[in-house]
Structure formats: C-alpha cells, structure tokens
Structure 1
C-alpha cells in the first residue's frame, strides 16, 4: 500500500469531491479516481460513496480515514526527526560574544561544543554589546552571549552564570597589599570604565556602588575590552573592575583584589530567537545552558562594564 494513495484519499475526503481534490493536488479527476479505486482494491472494501454530493466516506472509509491521518502524521513526524538529525549534524550556528567573554567561561563552552559537533559549522565573532544586540535583532547572528538581557520582542534569554568583580590595581598601589578592598577606599581613584552605551546596566551598577560607599566616581571612559582597561591600569592611569573569570589571564604589573561593601557582580546571559534556530542552534543553546550554571548567591546581582 503506497503512502501516496493514503494522502490522495485523505485529500479527497477533506475536499468532498474528486474535482476539488484533484485541483488541489494538481492532477486530473479521472487520475485521482483511478488511484482511489486501486486503494479500494488493496484494502478490499469500498472507501467512498461515489453517488453522493459531496462525496462522503463509507463507514469503513471513515474509520480508514482517521487511521490514515494518524499514519501520515506519524510519517511527517519521522521525516521531521530525520531532517532535524541531518541539520543537527551539518547545520550552522552564528554566535556573537561580547569581547570580555572571549577569554572567559563562555568561550570554553563554545570550544567544547565545536569538539562534540565536528560536522556542524559554528561561526564565532567578538562584537561589542550595542552592536551585538542590533545584529541579533537583524538576524546577522543566531545566538548572543552578553552581559545584559536585551528587551526585544519574541526574544528568549536565559541567565548562564554570575560572578563577582575584582578591582584591578597597579602592583605598586597602596591597596595592593590588602586582600579585600572596601569600595570607600576607591574614593580618590580614577575609575576606568567602558562607555555606558556598551552596558548600561553594568555601568549604572558601578556608579550605584560608588554612591552607596559615599562618593561620586571620577570615571575615565575607555574604549576597548576589560583587558584593554587592565593594560591602562598597568600604565598607572587608574583602576578598573575585572570579572573574576578573567583574573587568571596574566597582566603585567597588575594585581586583583576582592571588592566589599558593596561587592559588585555581573550576570552573563544567552539570547536567541526560537524561530531562527535550526537543530544545531537549538543544541548550542541547550549546551550552554547545561554547561554554564548560575550560582544562586549571585543571581540577583547586576553586571558592570
């Protein structure tokens, strides 16, 4: 019994007539009638009453119709699963990551995904936050890993992990000799930060922390990544805040110390549009969510640039 004939039969019953069904199938009514007759011969019973207008299924045909629909739906489901599997193996995902995270935990998760999906195409680009949000909205990237959750219609976002900031100091700074730096101790320091447009939530978190410590920050806006800011700290231009995950990267003449009263943290999130992801994209998102958990103690803290 050919699946094609089952499809023809279901279309005929749905349309209620040979001509209407034939037109929707782009075949002639006599050809459709011939195929239905062959199907009836295969099953050994009349399936439609050809004397009625519109054409109706016989009692046996009605039961056969419902079973055919279930078979065809199952076949469609199987086909989709196979398509997804092929897409999973040979699909593509375009990932945008803010520069700060290119040397951090998300980058390691990307490398792990590439190793476990060798036939998939994974394109990774380092993109500043403001541009990354635009490219995500426009469809130039499929998945974004960034330090904020964009407010875009139909966008899905999940917090991946949270971490605290450390303060980066020149190694000859008076505070380099302490283990913890109270925020109030930074009152007279020039604080190096990226532009507010790059990460408004994080920028505001730093300003708020300074205000809570009793002073207004003397900020110097720096274009570039966290590591660029750390290089400027090495040159004696001020102090900056570095995600803890980046503190393992050596920086000449710079030390990192824990911040207290208050501490400041940031949350890294992953964002995507469901409708744009193929199987590889969905697998990548799930991989990141599975591999990068959010410590509960930091989930309420906001990020800083």
Structure 2
C-alpha cells in the first residue's frame, strides 16, 4: 500500500469532492478517482460512497480515514526527526565572542563542541562588544557570547557565569605589595578603559564603583582589548580592570590584585534568535548553557569591553 494513496484519500475526504481534492493536488479528477479505486482494491473494501454529494466515506472508510491520518502524522514526525538529525550532523552555527572570552572558558566550550560534532560547521569570530550586538541583530552571526545581555526584540539570552574583576598594576606600584586593593586606594590613579560607546555596561560599572568609593575616576580612554590595556599598565600609563580568567596570561611588569569595597564583577551571557537556529545552533546553545554554569559566587551583573 503506497503512502501517496493514503494522502490522496485523506485529502479527498477533507475536500468532500473529487474535483475540489484534485484541484488542491494539481491532478485531474479522473486520475484521483482511479487512485482511490486502486486503494479500495488494496484494502478489499469500499471506502467512499460515490452516490452522495458531497461525497462521504463509508463506515469502513471513516475508520480508515482516522487511521490514515495517524499514519501520515507519524510519517511526518519521522521525516522531521531525520531532517533534524541530518541538520545536526551537517548544519552550521556562526558564533561571535568578545575578545576577552577567547582566552577563557567559553572558548574551551567551543572547542569541546567542535570535537563532539566533527561534521558540523562551526565558525568563530572575535568581535568587540560594540559590534557584536549589531552583528547578531543583522544576522551576520547566529550566537553571541558577550559580557552583557542585549535588549533586543525576540532575542533569547541566558546568563552563563559570573566573574570578578582584578586591578592590573605596574609591578613597582606601591599597591603591588598588598593582596587586596580597596577601591578608594585608586582615587589618584589614571584608569585605563575603553570608550563608553564600546560597552556602556562595563564602563558604567567602573564609574559606579569609583563613585561608591567616594571619588570620580580620572579615565584615559584606550582602544583595544584587555591585554592591550594591560600592556599600557606595563608601560606605566595607569591601571586597568581585567577579568580574573585573563590574569593567568603573563604580562611583563604587571601584577593583579583583588578589588574590595566595592568588588566589581561581570556576567558572561549567551544570546541568540530562536527562529534563526538550526539543529546545530540549538545544540551549541544548549552545550554552552550546560557546560558554563553560573557559580554561587556570581557577582552583580556588570560588563566589560
């Protein structure tokens, strides 16, 4: 028994007439009638009462109709599962990550996913926060891993983990000899950070912490990554704030110290548009959420460039 004939039968019953059903199927009414007759021969019972207008199924035809629908729905479900599996194996996901995260756990999670899905195409780009949200909105990337949660219509976002800032100091700085730096101790320091337009959340986090410590920051705007800022600290141009995970990367003549009163932190999030993701994209998002859980010590959601 051919599945195609089951589809024709269901369409005929739904339409209530050979002409209406044939038109929707883009075949002729005689051709449809011939296929239904062959189906009736296959099952050995009349399925359609051709004497009524509109035509109606026989008693056996009604039961056959409901069973056909269940079979066709099951076939459609199986086809979708197979399509999803093929997409899962051979699909593509384009990921944008802020530069700071290229050296920490999100980058490791990406590598794990690539190893687990060798036939999938995973494209990874390092994109500054100031451009990352636009690229996501415009569809240039499918998933963004960033240090803020964008406020865009229909955008899905999940916080992944929190991380504290450390202060980067020249190794000959007087505060280099202490384990914890009270924020108020930075009152007279030149603070190196990116422009506010690059990452309003991170910029405001630093300014707010300074104000809470009782002073307005003397800031020097620096274009570039955290490591670029740390290099300028090494040159004696000021101090900067850097995610703790980046403190493992050696930087000549620079030391990192814990900040207190107040402490400052940031939250790494993953953002995506559901409608744009194929099976690989959905699997990637779930992998990141599973692998990058939020620690209990999550610090208040702040950001950084």
TM-score (norm 2): 0.98
State the alpha-carbon separation in 2 of the partners of residues 132 and 49 from structure 1: 63
Q: What is the number of equivalent residue pairs in this alignment?
A: 305
State the alpha-carbon separation in 1 of the partners of residues 181 and 10 from structure 2: 74
State the alpha-carbon separation in 1 of the partners of residues 304 and 138 from structure 2: 26
1:264, 1:304 within 8 Å by CA — same for their partners in 2?
no
State the alpha-carbon separation in 2 of the partners of residues 67 and 299 from structure 1: 57
* Alignment deviations for residues 52-83 of structure 1 (CA, whole Å, 9 cap, x no partner): 12111122211211111111111111111111
- How far 1:41 moved relative to its partner? 1.4
State the alpha-carbon separation in 1 of the partners of residues 154 and 281 from structure 2: 16
**Structure 1 residue runs without a partner (length 5+):** none
1:264, 1:303 within 8 Å by CA — same for their partners in 2?
no
SS in 2 for 1:5: helix
1:204, 1:304 within 8 Å by CA — same for their partners in 2?
no
State the alpha-carbon separation in 1 of the partners of residues 30 and 88 from structure 2: 43
State the alpha-carbon separation in 2 of the partners of residues 178 and 187 from structure 1: 16
SS in 1 for 2:70: helix
Going from structure 1 to structure 2, the CA distance change for 1:148 and 1:29 (only over 3 Å counts) comes to same
2:264, 2:299 within 8 Å by CA — same for their partners in 1?
no
Going from structure 1 to structure 2, the CA distance change for 1:91 and 1:276 (only over 3 Å counts) comes to same
- How far 1:31 moved relative to its partner? 0.8
1:265, 1:301 within 8 Å by CA — same for their partners in 2?
yes
* Alignment deviations for residues 152-176 of structure 1 (CA, whole Å, 9 cap, x no partner): 1111100111110000001110000
- How far 1:297 moved relative to its partner? 2.5
SS in 2 for 1:247: helix
State the alpha-carbon separation in 2 of the partners of residues 203 and 65 from structure 1: 65
- How far 1:125 moved relative to its partner? 0.6
State the alpha-carbon separation in 2 of the partners of residues 301 and 27 from structure 1: 61
* Alignment deviations for residues 62-109 of structure 1 (CA, whole Å, 9 cap, x no partner): 121111111111111111111111111111110011111111111111
- How far 1:299 moved relative to its partner? 5.3
2:265, 2:299 within 8 Å by CA — same for their partners in 1?
no
State the alpha-carbon separation in 2 of the partners of residues 68 and 184 from structure 1: 76
- How far 1:300 moved relative to its partner? 3.4
- How far 1:113 moved relative to its partner? 0.7
1:95, 1:141 within 8 Å by CA — same for their partners in 2?
yes
Going from structure 1 to structure 2, the CA distance change for 1:234 and 1:108 (only over 3 Å counts) comes to same
TM-score (norm 1): 0.98
- How far 1:295 moved relative to its partner? 1.1
2:165, 2:241 within 8 Å by CA — same for their partners in 1?
yes
Aligned residue number for residue 117 of structure 1: 117
- How far 1:112 moved relative to its partner? 0.9
* Alignment deviations for residues 124-169 of structure 1 (CA, whole Å, 9 cap, x no partner): 1111112111111111100001111111111110011111000000
Q: Aligned Cα RMSD in Å?
A: 1.0
SS in 1 for 2:293: coil
SS in 1 for 2:248: coil
SS in 1 for 2:297: helix
- How far 1:198 moved relative to its partner? 1.9
- How far 1:301 moved relative to its partner? 3.3
